[in-house]
Structure 1
Amino acid sequence: MSKQKTSFVYVTYIRSTPEKVFEAITKPDIARRYWGHENVSDWQPGSKWEHVRANDERTVELVGEVIETAPPSRLVISWANASEASDPEAHSRVTFDIVEYESMVRLTVSHDELEAGSGMANGISKGWPAVLSSLKSYLETGTPIDVFARPKNEG
């Protein structure tokens, strides 16, 4: 019996260009500023990509493969924890759709093929809003938010 799958979709509008948004996702030196990680690949279909923590340890936390690339409007990658890279069942898929709207961009991130109730599904539902808010802040103001911030105790 196959496991139940779920998906997560996040849409945001950014005062930027499709080219700058695509570069922010795919260029390691930009991604590290707002994400705290670098996305490392040559971004050709079939190529591997790695999500590398931008610190002294340089831990590879996520891995996958480039499924489709159409700069600056679309990028599709597979996505898995590095520890589960060899298990095809552990891979999900992320699609970045970038559409120009006059002086801004609509960025839609669809993360699907997730195992319902899994740690990955739970993690990305918190992670994507923080990362994409940071991307928006960074591109619009030059200053990212702290994607590693935690809620303050309410007691």
Structure 2
Amino acid sequence: MTTKWELPPLFTIKCNIDASYDIHTALTEVGMVLRDHLGQFIAGKTIFLDRVASPLLAEIIGVREALTWLKELFSTTRLIVETDNLLVRQALEGIELPFFSLSSVKKSANQVAHCLARASASMSGSMEWNTFPPSLITDVLAFDLNNT
């Protein structure tokens, strides 16, 4: 399992996704980030989910939301979706879609999505960024690029 973020192959977009789940309130925030084969930020998104039954379900819903978003943006581009939840990858293992693969990575390779998920708790609702990343993830993006 990958321990640090890696560049996707040429002409491939990588989507890292993470969910943050509060066991006391069942509130969930999902963060996702898209980067190209050079590691450049393409887009980021946070989604607020109200009253999800479990952390695993929160991660699965997060992957579903990411796939919906990706389908709208990149219907014929090769995509890699990474989650730091091995159970999610195993649960979705049999799904085969053209131009798509799902993999699991260590939390250390998923820090940008994790930061977005955590930060979305303090934002008002869902947010989306295109072309320019929010300042709260620029240091983590730079760290990933400098360590690939």
Structure number with greater CO (CA < 8 Å, separation at least 6) is 2
Q: Same fold (TM over 0.5)?
A: no
TM-score, length-normalised on structure 2? 0.29
